[in-house]
Amino acid sequence: MADKAASGVDRSSTSLLFRANERILCFHGPLLYEAKVVKAEMWDGTDPDAPEPGPHYFVHYKGWKQTWDEWVDESRALKFNEENLAKQKALRLAALQASKKRTIVVPAKHSARVDSESESQVQQRSRKRVREQSVEKTVDEHDVGRSIEVKIPIPNALKAQLVDDWERVTKDRLLVPVPRSPTVAQMLEQYQEHRRASKDKRRPARRDDDEIVDEIIDGLKVYFDKALGNILLYRFERYQYKQMLEQFPERNPAEIYGCEHLLRLFVQLPNLITHTNMDDDAVLLLKDHLGDILKYMHKFSKALFASEYENASPAYVAVAKAT
């Protein structure tokens, strides 16, 4: 019992609705799919890697690759019986009918087209790897592109950090001390090391996970470098940005600035992702990993965010007001 309390996971099955190896139906997006319960656990919310208390099940979707295996809470699982099979069929028919009226978007290597989807295509487009059902589609019939609203959940403590950051810069006329330590690049490297060293033991290892995370990290640094001077700075910070570029011409912004500005990027990312031509599965995979990075930033926030901002000199204030 002591081990269970320490780990934040109670593996007793007395209060679990489903058991290991049980055949179930599981929501993945708006549709239901046949799945098998691989593991069943009761989480108490004390484990930072399993923050949501309650029954959770590690499921494998029938006919899907193991890369889609995931932990789900009990609200997404249904008993495998005639009533729920009928519900599965009704949801699938509704999705097929709706798909005939939707704009179809394919990955970047193909061209976008308007067409109806087969049942297998609906299944592919409906796969979601995250607990929150937070991706919504809106389509303009005059536009063959797609518009996806992606909601990246930011922990409440980091939301408070964003508010404090805004007040310090825009109201108090303070500056984030730069160069930061750790920088964005250093923090992301630390995240990668932490992730490899403390992989969730409850989750079977995925062969391509590290490669995916490496690509996401590289992409985040590119996004940060491009976005910082365009959309992430408050007006009062622009002169400081100019000074940094002049002082460190050999460095990219991700090698100068820190998590204060990276967190601002996470606020902007949903809109930036919307305008990419990634398919839905890629967007959802990206969202899942971005959420993990935010959890890491939350967990180590005291070491990652500056506790004190700097007072700007009168000369700086004068130049900043003039620019």
User: Among 7-16, 88-97, 120-129, 179-188, whose mean pLDDT is lowest?
Assistant: 120-129
pLDDT 10s digits, 132-169:
343 333 333 333 344 445 788 889 899 999 999 999 99
Report the pLDDT averaged over residues 199-218: 70
Cα separation, 238 vs 190, whole angstroms: 28
- Residue 72 is predicted with a pLDDT of 87
Most confident of 93-102, 171-180, 272-281: 171-180
Buried (b) or exposed (e) across 262-287, using 16+ Cβ within 10 A? bbbbbeebbeebbeeebbbbebbbbb
Report the pLDDT averaged over residues 60-74: 87
Task: Kindly tell me if the per-residue pLDDT of 114 is higher than 70.
Answer: no
Average pLDDT, the chain: 79
- Residue 75 is predicted with a pLDDT of 86
Please list, in sequence order, all residues whose beta carbon lies within 8 angstroms of the beta carbon of residue 285, skipping any fewer than 6 positions away: 129, 212
Report the pLDDT averaged over residues 6-13: 49
Whether residue 121 contacts residue 131, with contact meaning beta carbons closer than 8 Å, is answered with: no
Query: Nearest 5°: CA angle at 209, between 206 and 210?
Result: 125
pLDDT band at 208 (very low <50, low <70, confident <90, very high): low
Please list, in sequence order, all residues whose beta carbon lies within 8 angstroms of the beta carbon of residue 11, skipping any fewer than 6 positions away: 4, 41, 42
- Residue 48 is predicted with a pLDDT of 65
Q: Which of 28, 85, 18, 27 is nearest to 54 (CA)?
A: 18
- Give the predicted TM-score (pTM) of the model: 0.55
User: Among 152-156, 163-167, 202-206, 314-318, whose mean pLDDT is lowest?
Assistant: 202-206
pLDDT 10s digits, 290-303:
999 999 999 999 99
